[in-house]
Amino acid sequence: MEIRKLLKNNFLIFDGAMGTMLQRKGLKAGQLPEEYNIQCPEIIRDIHRKYLEAGSDIITTNTFGANRLKLRDSSYSVETIIENAVMIAKEAGGEKKVALDIGPIGQMMEPIGTLSFDEAYDIFKEQVIVGTRAGADIILIETISDLYEAKAAILAAKENSHLPVFCTMTFQENMRTLTGTDAITMVQVLEGLGVDVLGVNCSLGPKQLYPIIDKILKFATIPVMIQPNAGLPKIINDETIYDLTSEEFSQEIKYIADKGVGIFGGCCGTDPNFIKAVKEKLENLRPKELKNKRLTTACSSTKTVILGENVKVIGERINPTGKKKLKEALKSTNIDYIISEAIKQKETGSDILDINLGLPEIDEIGMMTKVIKELQSIIDLPLQIDSMKSDVIEKAVRIYNGKPIINSVNGKRESMEKIFPIVKKYGTCVIGLTLDDAGLPKTAEKRLEIATNIIETAKNYGIPEENIIIDCLVLTASAAQEAVMETLKAIPMIKSRYNVKTALGASNVSFGLPERKIINATYLALALGCGLDAPITDSTSPVLMDTIRAFKVISNQDKECREYIDFYNRGAKEDKIKKEKIEKDL
Amino acid sequence: MEIRKLLKNNFLIFDGAMGTMLQRKGLKAGQLPEEYNIQCPEIIRDIHRKYLEAGSDIITTNTFGANRLKLRDSSYSVETIIENAVMIAKEAGGEKKVALDIGPIGQMMEPIGTLSFDEAYDIFKEQVIVGTRAGADIILIETISDLYEAKAAILAAKENSHLPVFCTMTFQENMRTLTGTDAITMVQVLEGLGVDVLGVNCSLGPKQLYPIIDKILKFATIPVMIQPNAGLPKIINDETIYDLTSEEFSQEIKYIADKGVGIFGGCCGTDPNFIKAVKEKLENLRPKELKNKRLTTACSSTKTVILGENVKVIGERINPTGKKKLKEALKSTNIDYIISEAIKQKETGSDILDINLGLPEIDEIGMMTKVIKELQSIIDLPLQIDSMKSDVIEKAVRIYNGKPIINSVNGKRESMEKIFPIVKKYGTCVIGLTLDDAGLPKTAEKRLEIATNIIETAKNYGIPEENIIIDCLVLTASAAQEAVMETLKAIPMIKSRYNVKTALGASNVSFGLPERKIINATYLALALGCGLDAPITDSTSPVLMDTIRAFKVISNQDKECREYIDFYNRGAKEDKIKKEKIEKDL
Ligand SMILES: [Zn+2]
Ligand SMILES: [Zn+2]
Ligand SMILES: [Zn+2]
């Protein structure tokens, strides 16, 4: 099933609510709707038929809560329920497609709840395997509020089934999901994980979803699906009634279709009349094509950092190389120290945090897992997973709740063979270092050549350009002075040829010289002038951040110099004292 | 007489010594050789004839010391002596050219001696007027040790005669003239003043001149003339004997000719045999063509600063705008204060000093004259003459002992009409500001357009590109933030189109913002990265000089980081104390 091909000519219409229909058929509160698949399959079959008659192209199995946790008190197994549900839908649907419905597990995940990522994965995996085997055509993960849960579900689907994966999340009026994910972050993470369709379901009525839909369409590069409720709920005589008529609903859907959404259905409060009205409204219309936005992003679960819009700082301090205190913290599993380093970097202006825990004496995978779990519960900055070991990287990327950057791949074949499959599978960005078997090159031209090799090889793995961030690497001025400017020259050369962004860990340039920060700050300014998007640097160093803040003023990124003026006027005296203290500590 | 045309096919041979010949004819020590022009003209005529027979293309009048100071005890006037001398030479020469010989005045000029620039000028002017009227073909200013005296003589020649001007100076074994001028500085200043031929005479034997000649040929873009002595002098029986035979002499001349010198003659100890030998050696050979080096330079009398080789700092502190202390110093004619500011700038790394003394309350011309005289006697940095008034500029440039930069001209027709004649006449460089009647432009393209207008208009005045230094001017970030990068963009645009260098007074960018030095240092780094050759800045500001020193390391100008390491290792602690003090003072 090639969604994009189908959408070329027609909108795709799912069905409407199952729950609402079952309540009308006598489902009691507290009763498990999924048991109907066995207890009264004809009711379910009948609902499917009504939706098909109304015009649904795809019907959804009655398996929203068919997971082992929700069914723990049921006398039916997950397997029995899902198998029956798929069979009923297929019988009803005939030629039409059947979507295996997978709703949220119903328990909060770590760190708010106790459900671990691996447990969630296993629960979803069971649903996916049974549903796929039973003959579903699509896996529809829906009504998800927690991005982390969506990630577990999508991975379970992708790793245990060949079916297309649709995923829709549920937003609140504050434009975020219950656990704080905003539209752009959902788009970045879900697209990265390789879903075929993403969108919103439930949440609100269509009209209330407009601003969220606008955001999604601004960033999405895959088809978007919207299944709103039948308006907003009102409680009348202890009953929940939704405030839209099917005609009103379908008018709003038509408006959303004009924005660029291609796949529709209904959620709470909708019934076959709503689907019929939608079908009629969209008859003879064609979905708009989405333009590919090609953004380079890193995301935590609640924050997306776009590289290239503005200088973004990648904090480099969580890396034991040359840092005695951090080494000790790692050896003694002193996570608090690492967290304090992270907070310090966030407070001083880091946008993304590089996390390197590589010490030969420690269990790097274990430590990385712990640190990521802790950090993502405390700090909202996206992380950059930095390790020499691809198994550490894969594990970290897998359990990370967001879209991280991987640091790094390089131009060696072995490196690319290990790293690119991870980048592709988890939809991360990756830092591409311009070095290869011949080492770190001296010329800009050779850097371009290696970058070209990295980018073109990545494409063969299905990794788009925008997920590559090239680090042109600088040699030390004391050892290879004539090569120092070559790094800077390479930046615009590479950026003009490819839609990639650039990072640079530039402090190496001053190695072995006195007053290193003077060289570092000047080199940083020059690199920013050449188009460097993301310095990998120490945001706790005032001189370096001074340079970045000044560059943002000069390059008109810091509009009306507001950040700059705020920063330096805000208790200028106190800052100075603090600054001098920090510089002494360095 | 078009020297270059003549040199296309042949070397030009002057004559040899007059003094040596006259001593052989019985001239006593203390006797004025110039009196022979009246007392025994046949001896002079005979010497000319011998040289002509030996092959001289040009003979030199017997007027070396024919100035009113040397002749003050003579019964003959300057007029009588020169008129006779020219007449004798013309009679002897027939078709051949006659060069009016002008030697040094014979008294030290200010500040070492008491002879003022204007007095020197008047003395030379008298010789020039008489010689020209008497029918000389060339004015040959020779055996000059003091660049300032050469400048007076050349101006006197150019302003009072239409004849071609040749000027040769006399060097010591330390590669400098008696008053400290080196070869490159001589070339820059004399070419700037518009001489037709420059070179060296007297001094040493040909072989000892090789290194000086190499330097001259490295920088000269006009024909070069060499008239060496007949080797080195030895005192034998109270007589001065030179150690080369005519054959040896001519072999060395041949070697010099191969280097690229096109005009020869002899000085002390040479006679017609030497000229004959030279003529034979160069027979059937053609002079080499000199390549135009197109350097942008500013010179004091002893130091040439080449723009474009390395970042050069133009010290901006001697400018009363916003400087209370300097304003007071100007009002009370406190020259010592100005000198202390100049020394401070030199010590902290300025390569050139901008001098602006514009205060409405003072006599700017008088003050400028005083300050320049004082500064050029104390400090060896080239000066940049900065005034709103073209009469102040002309006077300053005229009495300056060197090749200054004029600050500034701009794209307005009125400005160019006033300033370019001065630039052309005195052979200075000039800062071209990219503003015109429409004000200071916002875009890089408009800056290029104004720069183009300035450069092309300058060419119409005979000013070569390399004497234009474009200042792209920056608007303040607080008022025109979107235009701030345009200035930087303009630098490579202009430099790639024209062989001009660029200056920039960048501190304006931070006007109105807090912590201005942070913006200034970052902007400076960016400008240097864009190819800025000469920041006009405050070298007493440590952060700005830090940036420049770091840039020199990064751009491989400071080879092996030597300056950088020296500077920051040299008593790092003391520097820090000093630095903090200075920053507090700012
Ligand atoms: Zn719903
Ligand atoms: Zn629903
Ligand atoms: Zn001589």
DSSP assignments along B367-380, one per residue: HHHHHHHHHHHH--
pLDDT the model gives residue A574: 59
The 10s digit of each residue's pLDDT in B44-102 is: 999 999 999 999 999 999 999 999 999 999 999 999 999 999 999 999 988 899 999 99
Three-state SS sequence of B140-199: EEEEECCHHHHHHHHHHHHHHCCCCEEEEECCCCCCECCCCCEHHHHHHHHHHHCCCEEE
Q: B173 and chain A: CB distance < 8 Å anywhere? A: no
Q: What are phi and psi of B496, to 5 degrees?
A: -80, -20
Whether A523 and B482 lie within 8 Å, measured CB to CB: no
> What is the average pLDDT across A19-41?
91
> What is the average pLDDT across A50-68?
97
pLDDT the model gives residue B559: 96
Q: What angle do CA B103, B109, B112 make, to 5 degrees?
A: 135
Quote the CA–CA distance of A420 and A406 in Å, as a whole number. 10
CB A145 within 8 A of CB A177: yes
Q: Could you tell me the two tokens for B568?
A: 């920051």
Ranges A150-164, A230-244, B336-350: which has the least confidence: A230-244
Q: For chain A, how big is the Rg over CA atoms in Å? A: 26
Whether B477 and A529 lie within 8 Å, measured CB to CB: no
Contacts of A492 in chain B (CB under 8 A): none
Q: Which of B397, B442, B433 is nearest to B415 (CA)?
A: B433
Instruction: Say whether pLDDT at A584 is over 60.
Output: no
Ranges A298-302, A521-525, B156-160, B506-510: which has the least confidence: B506-510
The 10s digit of each residue's pLDDT in A389-430 is: 999 999 999 999 999 999 999 999 999 999 999 999 999 999
Contacts of B553 in chain A (CB under 8 A): 477, 481, 484, 513, 519
Dihedral of alpha carbons B229, B230, B232, B237, sign: negative
> Which tops the pLDDT comparison, B112 or A158?
A158
Q: Could you tell me the two tokens for A567?
A: 């920063």
Please list, in sequence order, all residues whose beta carbon lies within 8 angstroms of the beta carbon of residue B505, skipping any fewer than 6 positions away.
Answer: B316, B471, B473, B535, B536, B537
> What is the average pLDDT across A38-59?
97
CB A494 within 8 A of CB A447: yes
Q: Using CB atoms, which residue from A481, A514, A551 is nearest to B556?
A: A481
CATH topology of domain A3-282: TIM Barrel (3.20.20)
Which positions of chain B have pLDDT values less than 70?
1, 292, 571-586
CB atoms < 10 A from the CB of A231, how many?
22
Q: B521 and chain A: CB distance < 8 Å anywhere? A: yes
For residue B474, give the chain A residue with the closest CA.
Answer: A554
**CATH of B296-505+532-540 among 3.40.50.300, 3.20.20.20, 2.60.120.10, 1.20.810.10:** 3.20.20.20
pLDDT the model gives residue A573: 55
Q: Could you tell me the two tokens for B378?
A: 């104390």
End-to-end Cα spacing for chain B:
58
CB atoms < 10 A from the CB of B106, how many?
11
**CATH of B34-282 among 3.40.50.300, 3.20.20.330, 3.20.20.70, 3.40.50.12780:** 3.20.20.330
Whether B518 and A565 lie within 8 Å, measured CB to CB: no
Q: A285 and chain B: CB distance < 8 Å anywhere? A: no
Q: Which of A331, A393, A320, A395 is nearest to A358 (CA)?
A: A320
Percent of chain A scoring above 70 in pLDDT: 97
Domain boundaries, chain B: 34-282, 296-505+532-540
Q: What are phi and psi of B351, to 5 degrees?
A: -100, -25
CB pairs under 8 A between A and B: 126
- How far does A311 lie from chain B, in Å, by closest CA? 14
CB B469 within 8 A of CB B505: no
Q: What are phi and psi of B238, to 5 degrees?
A: 65, 5
Q: What angle do CA B195, B164, B467 make, to 5 degrees?
A: 30
Instruction: Strands of A20-158 (E only): list them.
Output: 58-60, 97-102, 138-144
Please list, in sequence order, all residues whose beta carbon lies within 8 angstroms of the beta carbon of residue B551, skipping any fewer than 6 positions away.
Answer: A522, A526, B311, B525, B528, B529, B557
Contacts of B528 in chain A (CB under 8 A): 526
Which bin fits B350, alpha (ψ -120 to 50), beta or left (φ > 0)? beta
Q: Which of A315, A240, A244, A232 is nearest to A277 (CA)?
A: A244
For domain A296-585, give the CATH superfamily.
Answer: Dihydropteroate synthase-like (3.20.20.20)
For residue B528, give the chain A residue with the closest CA.
Answer: A526
SS3 A322: coil
**How far away, in angstroms, is B280 Cα from ligand 3 center?**
22
Q: Which of A342, A355, A529 is nearest to A431 (CA)?
A: A355
CB B181 within 8 A of CB B401: no
Q: Could you tell me the two tokens for A369?
A: 């897992």
Instruction: Say whether pLDDT at A581 is over 70.
Output: no
Whether B523 and A550 lie within 8 Å, measured CB to CB: yes
In one-letter notation, the amino acid at residue B291 is: K
Whether B481 and A553 lie within 8 Å, measured CB to CB: yes
Q: B487 and chain A: CB distance < 8 Å anywhere? A: no
**β-pairing, A138-144 with A224-228?**
unpaired
Crossing angle of the two packed helices B413-426 and B444-460, in degrees rounded to 10:
50
Quote the CA–CA distance of B206 and B128 in Å, as a whole number. 29
**How far away, in angstroms, is A32 Cα from ligand 2 center?**
15
Instruction: Write out the DSSP string of A189-248.
Output: HHHHHT-SEEEEEESS-HHHHHHHHHHHHHH--S-EEEEE-SS-EEEETTEEEES--HHH
Contacts of B521 in chain A (CB under 8 A): 521-522, 525, 547, 550
Helical residues (DSSP H) of B319-412, grouped into ranges: 324-331, 335-348, 364-378, 390-399
- Verify cis geometry, omega within 30 degrees of 0, for the bond prior to A441: no
- How far does B552 lie from chain A, in Å, by closest CA? 10
User: Quick check: do A3-282 and A296-585 share a fold?
Assistant: yes
Contacts of B518 in chain A (CB under 8 A): 546-547, 549-550, 568
Quote the CA–CA distance of A327 and A509 in Å, as a whole number. 24
CA dihedral defined by A548, A549, A550, A553, rounded to 10 degrees?
A: 120
ipTM: 0.91
Q: B557 and chain A: CB distance < 8 Å anywhere? A: no
Q: Could you tell me the two tokens for B336?
A: 């010592």
Contacts of B556 in chain A (CB under 8 A): 481-482, 484-485
> What is the average pLDDT across A511-528?
97
The 10s digit of each residue's pLDDT in A318-329 is: 999 999 999 999
The DSSP symbol for B509 reads: G
Dihedral of alpha carbons A577, A578, A579, A581, sign: positive
* Greatest distance between any 2 Cα atoms in chain A: 82
Crossing angle of the two packed helices B542-554 and B562-569, in degrees rounded to 10:
140
Closest ligand to the CA of B267: 3
CA dihedral defined by A32, A199, A151, A180, rounded to 10 degrees?
A: -90
pLDDT the model gives residue B62: 97
In one-letter notation, the amino acid at residue B280 is: E
CB B421 within 8 A of CB B463: no
Whether A514 and B551 lie within 8 Å, measured CB to CB: no
The HSE-up count of residue B333 (CA atoms within 13 Å, CB side) is: 10
Q: Which of A46, A33, A6 is nearest to A225 (CA)?
A: A6
Whether B477 and A526 lie within 8 Å, measured CB to CB: no
Q: A112 and chain B: CB distance < 8 Å anywhere? A: no
SS3 B26: coil
Q: Using CB atoms, which residue from B529, B564, B568 is nearest to A529?
A: B529
CB atoms < 10 A from the CB of A225, how many?
25
Q: A482 and chain B: CB distance < 8 Å anywhere? A: yes
Residue owning tokens 């931070």: B510
pLDDT the model gives residue A291: 78
Dihedral of alpha carbons A447, A453, A454, A456, sign: positive
The HSE-up count of residue B243 (CA atoms within 13 Å, CB side) is: 10
Instruction: Say whether pLDDT at A571 is over 70.
Output: no
pLDDT the model gives residue A152: 98
